[in-house]
Structure 1
Amino acid sequence: MKVLVVHNRYRAEQPSGENNVVDQEVALLAGAGHEVGLFERRSDEIAGMSLPRKAVLPLKVPWNRAVRAELARRLHDDRPDVVHLHNTFPLLSPSVLAACADAGVPAVATLHNYTQICAPGTLYRDGHVCTDCVGRAPVPAVRHGCYRGSALATVPVAASLVLNRKRWWSGVSRFFCISGAQRETLVAAGMPAERLVVKHNFVEDPGKTRTGAGEHVLFLGRITAEKGAGLLMAAWDRLGGIGLPLVIAGAGPMQEEVGRWAHGRADVSYLGLRSKQECRDLIARANTVVAPSTWLETFGLVIVEAMAAGVPTVAAAHGAFRELVEDGVTGLLHEPGDPSSLADRLREATGDRNQEMGRAARLAYEKDFTPEVGLDRLVGGYRAAMGVPAE
């Protein structure tokens, strides 16, 4: 099969799970013998643009004619069987859909977030889940400056959402939702249910699983309010000690606050950013991984990475986490946004059933989240988009 992957890469300075997913899928397909091409832009390119080019960039967010023409030439020359779309913001734009339609090449798209129904793609504002724009024009998003805290910056994003909604919904043969929870939300918002299928992200087998009870409780990811950094600090202070230290690894807007909170404490370590291998080692040595997100996560990569290492997770009981964590079996779910509930569940998770839940988590990984399972679902989605019967 010949596949062309279309993706606007996020800035290198900002760790991106989406970039990682794209890279892993490309490698997976190539390793299975498929021919994979890339049509990319990088948000890092913006810094090197001239002031005039930067000034007109917002006007091209809804529609970029030059990109459409360039992709049309690429499709003519390469003649792929299917185009796989990921992120098109801000340098590609939905004009890539027109190029695919003109060339008669079926397009599939992975929905990594909620950008089809929410200007910033998060369904989150001012510390709480927000659905003000779902099913209506994104006027509230502009009024509240939901993208980068700026009404002006939000305008082109909101305009693209309005102008291209029908084109997305009719021009994509297959949407890959990365969780059932995400699919339910999108269908309820009016997206065509018959085009949306669930295809979880996969995780490479780390090659080793945890031995023994583990050494620490681990928070790994972006240090932000929506990821639950503040909630975790409040819950940990309520615990008063459970015999294991808390290790926090990652970077983000709240990293200085977290660093100050952790400074001088024997029960907390803040490590900052760590390499991929270091993160794997931290997970494999963890007693419990904690994912206390306050927004509706569309997936939970760190949860599945913990499962692969045979480590149970304590996670918020909303969004995709409800389907990734089987409460009481592979981990525990806490009441979203409630520090007391999170503290109680952390205490329970580090108790006598920890290793039993860790073994169950590993079995769940082997069943649903391996590269082999991911490849089968990915190629199956391509075949469906192409109208080819499954093998």
Structure 2
Amino acid sequence: MRVLVLHNSYRNQGGEDLAVAGEVDIMRKAGMDVRLETVSNRGISSPVEQARLFLTVANDPKRKIWVQGLCDDYRPDIVHIHNFFPLLTTAVHEGAAERQLPVVQTLHNYRLLCANALFLRNGAVCETCINGNKAVAFLSRCYRGSFAATLAAMRLRQHAARNDIWARHVHRFIALTEFARGKFIEGGLDGDRIVVKPHFVEDVGVMEHSRAGALFVGRLSPEKGAGTLIQAWRSLPHIPLTIVGDGPERSRLMASAPRNVVFTGHLRQDAVTPLMRRAAVLVVPSIAYETFGMTIAEAFSAGLPVIASDIGAPAELVGRSGGGVLFKAGDAADLVRVVTDVLGNSDTLGALSAGARRDYLRRYTPERNLEHLLSIYRDAAQRAKAS
């Protein structure tokens, strides 16, 4: 099977970029012929380039010609599209479909439904773009705090709706959780076309030694809930907390953190894994829905229990796993209660650790991911043939 993978990478490498690279890698290791074509946001800097991008963000005719040239040259069996905003645009879906090729789209975020792709406004969950006045996003400058950037993101959605892009040109969508799938259905996508396939992580194994303390791994931005974490840890002076990551809130969080909190800054994954093996729990205090939780899957691989907020995709991943406990999102007092209960009972910790490891083996291994991905490709090919 020959697979053409298209991805618009970000200015700074993030979870989506790593997920795409990982998926391509497991296909190639399985002997598949995979061609990865990426474009990067790093070149979007000059006012001229930004102005041109505003005009083409919904559909760039040059990208349609580009992708059809790729298809004619490579002759893939499947075209798998990941992030396509803002450079690839819906033109790549149209171009591939016009070549009578099966098209698969992974839904890494909520961009199809929400201007900022997060369902977050003013520090709280917002679903206005699904079932309310969509002008609110523009007036609130939801994307990058900019009227122009928000309008550009809104134009993408308007173009897709006006031209029925998703129904006409995508044969299978991949959502990462059932929660995310439900939101996309609420937003108007055909549920019959959306299949749930989580990301995978490599097996890091479980270290057989005592664990201690708590760990947070993620971007230090408002939606990740690190403020709730710091507030809670003021009431947990005897439990060490290690915070891995960087972001716009780092200085503020460091200034207000108690002494038992250590900030490491950004670390490579090979430096994070030993921390996961030594910690007693991973805390995921997100106040946003998320579409998945890569750090949760990584923790489960290490047999590390997870304490997560009871909202969105993290709540689904942890709540069903037997490998963690939920607390009320944004509620520092409830987080204190849960952390105290979990870390105060070695039997509970042991049971959660075993549950985390079982859930990893059941859902998040490379082998299971590849098997599921190939099934999706076969189904997309059948749908394309029948259409």
SS at match of 1:296: coil
Structure 2 equivalent of residue 88 of structure 1: 84
SS at match of 2:130: coil
Contact 2:321–2:355 (CA<8 Å) still a contact in 1? no
Q: Distance in 2 between matches of 1:198 and 1:377?
A: 9
1:375 is matched with which residue: 370, 374, 379? Answer: 370
1:382 deviates by 0.4
Contact 2:104–2:377 (CA<8 Å) still a contact in 1? yes
Q: Taking structure 1 as reference, are residues 92 and 128 closer, same or farther at Cα in structure 2, changes over 3 Å only?
A: same
SS at match of 1:89: coil
Q: Does 1:161 align with 2:157?
A: yes
Mapping for residues 206-221 of structure 1, pairs under 5 Å: 206=204, 208-221=205-218
Structure 2 equivalent of residue 178 of structure 1: 176
Q: Does 1:53 align with 2:46?
A: no
Q: Distance in 2 between matches of 1:289 and 1:115?
A: 28
1:8 deviates by 0.2
Q: Distance in 1 between matches of 2:322 and 2:79?
A: 39
Contact 1:325–1:331 (CA<8 Å) still a contact in 2? yes
Q: Taking structure 1 as reference, are residues 314 and 80 closer, same or farther at Cα in structure 2, changes over 3 Å only?
A: same
Equivalenced residue count is 380
Mapping for residues 37-186 of structure 1, pairs under 5 Å: 37-47=35-45, 51-135=47-131, 138-165=134-161, 166-186=164-184
1:22 is matched with which residue: 20, 23, 29? Answer: 20
Contact 1:118–1:138 (CA<8 Å) still a contact in 2? no
2:246 is matched with which residue: 247, 251, 254? Answer: 251
Q: Does 1:311 align with 2:311?
A: no
Q: Distance in 2 between matches of 1:156 and 1:168?
A: 19
1:254 deviates by 0.3
Structure 2 portions without partners, runs of 5+: none
Q: Distance in 2 between matches of 1:332 and 1:211?
A: 22
Q: Taking structure 1 as reference, are residues 222 and 143 closer, same or farther at Cα in structure 2, changes over 3 Å only?
A: same
Q: Taking structure 1 as reference, are residues 94 and 26 closer, same or farther at Cα in structure 2, changes over 3 Å only?
A: same
Amino acid of the structure 2 residue aligned with 1:46: I
Q: Distance in 2 between matches of 1:301 and 1:334?
A: 19
Amino acid of the structure 1 residue aligned with 2:10: Y
Give per-residue Cα distances to partners, 1:327-380, cap 9 Å, x unaligned.
793111001111111111111221221122111110110011100111011111
SS at match of 2:155: helix
1:137 deviates by 6.2
Structure 1 equivalent of residue 265 of structure 2: 272
1:117 deviates by 1.0
Amino acid of the structure 2 residue aligned with 1:362: R
SS at match of 2:280: strand
Q: Does 1:387 align with 2:382?
A: yes
Bigger shift: residues 361-370 or 349-358: 349-358
Structure 1 equivalent of residue 9 of structure 2: 9
1:59 deviates by 0.9
Structure 2 equivalent of residue 332 of structure 1: 325
TM-score (norm 2): 0.95
Q: Distance in 2 between matches of 1:130 and 1:59?
A: 27
State the identity as a percent.
35
SS at match of 1:297: coil
Structure 1 equivalent of residue 202 of structure 2: 204
Contact 2:309–2:328 (CA<8 Å) still a contact in 1? yes
Q: Does 1:232 align with 2:232?
A: no
1:115 deviates by 1.1
Give per-residue Cα distances to partners, 1:119-155, cap 9 Å, x unaligned.
1111111011001110456311111100001112111
Contact 2:44–2:50 (CA<8 Å) still a contact in 1? yes
Amino acid of the structure 1 residue aligned with 2:199: N
1:55 deviates by 2.5
Q: Runs of at least 4 residues of structure 1 off by over 2 A? A: 50-55, 135-138, 210-213, 326-329
Amino acid of the structure 2 residue aligned with 1:65: P
